[in-house]
Amino acid sequence: MAVPDEEELIAKKDVLKLTGISYGQLYRWKRKGLIPEAWFVRRSTFTGQETFFPKEKILSRIELIRSLKEEQSLDDLVRVLAPETKPEGVKHDRPTALAPVGSEGHRLLWKDGGYTFAELVALACGAQVLRAGNRLAEAKLVLDLVRAAEALLRDPTGVSVILAEKSIDGEGVSVRFSFALLGREPLRLDREARIKGQLDLERLVEQVKAALREG
């Protein structure tokens, strides 16, 4: 996973030395989902492969874990951080309570509960389409498309969803239909297609994560 160059990195062994934690603790916290997978940056050094972390993030996270550990609220912290670190474990029962889905999303629900992270993002996409004043059928089109693209949500950088419309006129008949398109930018449509809306999946993923953290 890409880490911006300007972010200062620290080697794993230096993290241990600096904080005094053990390998066992670090690996346990990773398993519990307290340290995001994306923070483990593997780099080749003269001694072979080594793991580095974004320095500021890892040090403040360890401090956070330690401060909470004493209050035995580590499991609460796991829950709070879960959407960020292990989105595949999310099961949510009240999607409309999340701001990105909202009350508009109510019309899109298809089951009572147990919505996965990908399904929540799909709902948020559909709700956004509704909020922009499009038809319910169009929102469902987008929803189904995003639901089917679960694998892309792991790395949604530069992924967009486009809702577009096309009309065909001829022999006294005029047909207008909507379609949706999902992919990594740059996405191109032909000139006869009219774009009705465009969603930035990366931003929606972040919004859903943020909403899950708060709620």
The span from the CA of 105 to the CA of 107, in Å, is: 5
CB of 55 vs other proteins, minimal distance in Å: 18
Backbone angles phi, psi at 181, to 5 degrees: -140, 135
Give whichever of 30 and 66 is closer to other proteins, judged by the CB atom: 30
Give whichever of 17 and 188 is closer to other proteins, judged by the CB atom: 17
CB of 47 vs other proteins, minimal distance in Å: 6
Point out which residues bind other proteins (CB under 8 A).
Answer: 12-13, 16-17, 22-24, 26-28, 30-31, 47-49, 88
| CB-based contacts of 33, cutoff 8 Å, min separation 6 | 78, 81, 82, 85, 86, 89
DSSP calls for 51-74: EEEEHHHHHHHHHHHHHHHTTT-H
Give whichever of 16 and 181 is closer to other proteins, judged by the CB atom: 16
In DSSP terms, 194 is beta-bridged to 165
Give whichever of 18 and 195 is closer to other proteins, judged by the CB atom: 18
CB of 73 vs other proteins, minimal distance in Å: 20
